[in-house]
Amino acid sequence: MFIFALLIGIYSYLIFALGLAGLLYKDLIIWFTLLFWGLVIYWFGKDLIKIIGQIRHIGQIKSKTLLFLILIVVLQAGINFIGALGPELAFDALWYHLTIPKMYLENHSIYFIPGGLLYYSGMPKLGEMLYIGGLAFGNEIIAKVIHFSFGLFTCFALYKIQRKFLSPLISMIGVVIFYSNLVVAWESITAYVDLVRTFFEVMALWAFVNWLDERKRKWFVWSAIMVGLAITTKLLAAGSLLIFTALIFYILLDYRVRGNDKEKEADNTTFKARTISIYLFIYWIIALIIPLPWFIFSYINTGNFVYPFFSEIYKIESEGLSILGFFRDFWILFMRSADPISPVYMIFLPLIIWFFWCKRLRSSLISKFLNVVGIYSFISIVVWYFTPRTGGGRFILPYLPAFSIVCAATLNFLIGNKKKYGEQISKLLIILIIFVSFISIAYRFAANSKYIFVLSGRETKQMFLANHLNFAFGDFYDIDGYFKKNIKKEDKVLLIGFHNLYYVDFPFIDSSWLKAGDKFNLIATQNTVLSKKYEDLKLIYVNDKTMVKLYKRE
């Protein structure tokens, strides 16, 4: 699985290299993609056969409860897949996650897009590089399916982490808790990148747990690589470096010098300080060198390694440390977030606190594993609090797998408790988890049912987007086909007031990157008034629904 994650990163960087070389042609990308993943399937064919074989053995599972939990995940995934197959409606995807890759393809190169609209073009974009491949093969649907797939990859990795210390049943409960989050289900039907980041984040945690278990340095390196890929997907993942820094301190401070030499024991403090410094240095260097090409790309074009952060376009303002503010935002995050998070976490919270307070065998490996996940979960909340939170609940999404592990471990502790109330509470919690999962399934089925009409052919894509896009909020689509019929290849349209440009399928220049010398013969405005310097233009088209007007020089 780690090799697979690394190959995803390598593929994205090869697309990046093709873009820098000006070779982003659809045919080339298609053949390159087929060759790359064809070789991967050839080299790892035996492993794929084993995975398929494991899937076939699901029917042989004797535990009805386990089979029922697997069915819940499959049902949720099926409903999410319906949404993934429909046209894109999500704001950020239409704003930049899809628009930037589409522009790269149309211009056959990767370049910095100036202006105040697509300023994210300077940031690391591992996920968007994958979408370039998807768009080369077809349209946004393939990009959405790619993102949907990362939700399933995350579930697989989450299950494997838990299986190191927990039973198959408890491990699957952890997967159900995670995948039943409405924010996960909603992200699964979009071409965002948060699930891509979540996959790499959970892989980093998995590698770190393997290092804790086996004490082999390769797992330490793998964890750093996965964090580096997470940062290359979304720059905010740099906050995870602070989480793993704390975990490295926790693990290495517990290190003991072997042997009975008293001088070694006396020198243990110095040894630890030196060891921790070396490990931290290695971890940070590996994690930061992976997104370094994107940092250099950003610096060359903007003079800022992490543009648009710390610029006039994207100022970072922190409220500072406020205990009251922390708990207020914590409550809003889990109970009133615009991107809903499962209430299971808040219901489990008192039990989690009690669990970590009461659990025994603190020196055992399983206890250290749970402490690692507990520390990871707590610090992730702190990191979330001090980073930009314009994305609502989806910005905590990469850490929900760890929260789910903590809930599953707490449930496992209750089940193993010899007192009767432990067994009774655990049964109630399992019923609650299943109930919440069915609420999520029902809610997402109702939300995704609108895609059934367009998927079945009862509604055209044009009609669907005309009915569901938010034109007052910056979306655009040529709902009546006017632009397709009347705009020629030699025309150039200046767009004023437009925001989400993915569905713009005619030659254009946006006003945000217009510069002296740029030529255009048409002007289109959306929900805005044309400035006085263009008063001599003739209005030739108006669409009240999309709020678009088209002007031409007489």
Burial 124-159 (b: 16+ CB within 10 A, else e): bbbbbbbbbbbbbeeebbbbbbbbbbbbbbbbebbb
- pTM of the entire structure? 0.93
For residue range 398-429, list pLDDT tens digits in order: 999 999 999 999 998 888 766 667 778 888 99
For residue range 282-313, list pLDDT tens digits in order: 999 999 999 999 999 999 999 999 998 888 77
How many whole angstroms separate alpha carbon 529 and alpha carbon 532? 9
How many whole angstroms separate alpha carbon 338 and alpha carbon 332? 9
Question: 3-state class of 303 per DSSP?
Answer: coil
Question: 3-state class of 180 per DSSP?
Answer: coil
> Could you tell me which residues are beta bridge partners of residue 542?
549
How many whole angstroms separate alpha carbon 549 and alpha carbon 5? 46
Question: How many residues are recorded in the chain?
Answer: 554
Q: Give pLDDT < 70 ranges for the chain.
A: 47-48, 50-62, 255-271, 315-321, 359-364, 389-392, 417-420
User: What pLDDT does 465 receive?
Assistant: 96
User: What pLDDT does 266 receive?
Assistant: 46
- Angle at the Cα of 141 from the Cα atoms of 392 and 463, rounded to 5 degrees: 95
User: What pLDDT does 83 receive?
Assistant: 96
Kind of pairing between the strands at 548-553 and 493-496:
unpaired
DSSP letters spanning 437-492:
HHHHHHHHHHHHTHHHHHHTTSS-HHHHHHHHS-GGGT----TTSHHHHH--TT--
Q: Are 175 and 93 in contact (CB under 8 A)?
A: no
Spell out the residues 6+ positions from residue 222 whose beta carbon is closer than 8 angstroms to its own.
2, 203, 207, 210
The domain locations on the chain are 2-448, 469-553
> Could you tell me which residues are beta bridge partners of residue 549?
525, 542
Q: Are 136 and 33 in contact (CB under 8 A)?
A: yes
How many whole angstroms separate alpha carbon 415 and alpha carbon 443? 30
User: What pLDDT does 533 receive?
Assistant: 85
Which residue type occupies 71?
A: L
| Residue in 500, 490, 492, 491 with CA at minimum distance from that of residue 548 | 500
DSSP letters spanning 489-528:
TT--EEEES----TT--S-EEEGGG--TT---SEEEEESS
